[in-house]
Amino acid sequence: MSNKDLLANQMKLCYSSLLDYTVYTGNGVRMNIRKLVKNSSFTRIAPFALFMAFIALEEMLRNPVINKTFHFPESIAIYIYPVKALSTGLLILMLWGNYIELHFHDFRKLSSTLLSLITGIIVFILWIHLDWTWASIGTVRGYNPTLVSDYFTQYLLIVFRMFGASLIVPIMEELFWRSWLLRYLISQDFQSVKIGKFSLSSFLIGAIMFGLEHNLWLAGIMAGVCYNILLYRTRSIAQCILAHAVTNFMLGLYVLQTGRWEFW
């Protein structure tokens, strides 16, 4: 057996051992990780939760008290994004086999795909015009790679940001918000609920919660409403991912063109 094959077998053994590890969740409850990664809710929540944990870390590093104690440079949070995007992307890949609702052949239906493209563009246009002070939560710092003096590092950070915002975030958020939450609000057995099933309560709660996830809460609610309507029209998570990706990609180009880093 070659060293390469030996290493591959060792990695498989480590992964298998990790899956067989038992997690103690409190109150005497034990859950095997192998079962956990097959849990339908967990697989749709976990990438979102991981991404949010990195955002919490970024905010912690920006905290004046912590910053004063450890003397972190202003650009420290920028370097976290590549790790955040790659970690979330890797987790999605590890759980990919669970996402049975993702049908990318839906793009063959040109009318729905065109609607998704138009929706993504409309959300982008509205987003950059809904940046009023009263419609934002907290201080909008944004992601500004020009805080780093080295030009190569700047370009690398921009590439990671575009990759994360245009690919990882749309997949991660659509799996959480429109595949899991909208259906879970209808029934805890969410997989028994068809993709795109409408209920007024899930529509409103989902859109509002999606908005409150963002600093620009009004723009976020608008986007949540538009993506929800697209879901009801196309009954496709893949089409929602496409629309979301178009919005984020165009927003990235706009930020790079105008230097309005607060939108990142």
pLDDT in tens, 194-226: 999 999 999 999 999 999 999 999 999 999 999
Lowest mean pLDDT among 28-32, 147-151, 206-210, 252-256: 28-32
Model pLDDT, residue 202: 97
Buried b / exposed e over 70-97, threshold 16 CB at 10 Å, is: eeeeeeebbbebbebbebbbebbeebee
Residue-wise pLDDT for 116-174, tens only, equals: 999 999 999 999 999 999 999 887 778 999 988 899 999 999 999 999 999 999 999 99
Contact 256, 161 (CB under 8 A): no
pLDDT of residue 13: 55
Q: Return the domain boundaries, the chain.
A: 1-36, 40-263
Question: Could you identify the residue written with the tokens 């609702």?
Answer: 101
Amino acid at 35: K
Find the radius of gyration of the CA atoms of the chain: 20
Q: What is residue 21's three-state secondary structure?
A: coil
What is the pLDDT at residue 185?
97
Q: Is 63 a residue whose pLDDT tops 80?
A: no
Residues 80, 52 contacting (CB under 8 angstroms):
no
Calculate the average pLDDT of the chain.
Answer: 88
> pLDDT for 168-194, tens place per residue?
999 999 999 999 999 999 999 999 999
Q: Is residue 78 pLDDT above 90, yes or no? A: no
Percent above pLDDT 90 for the chain? 71
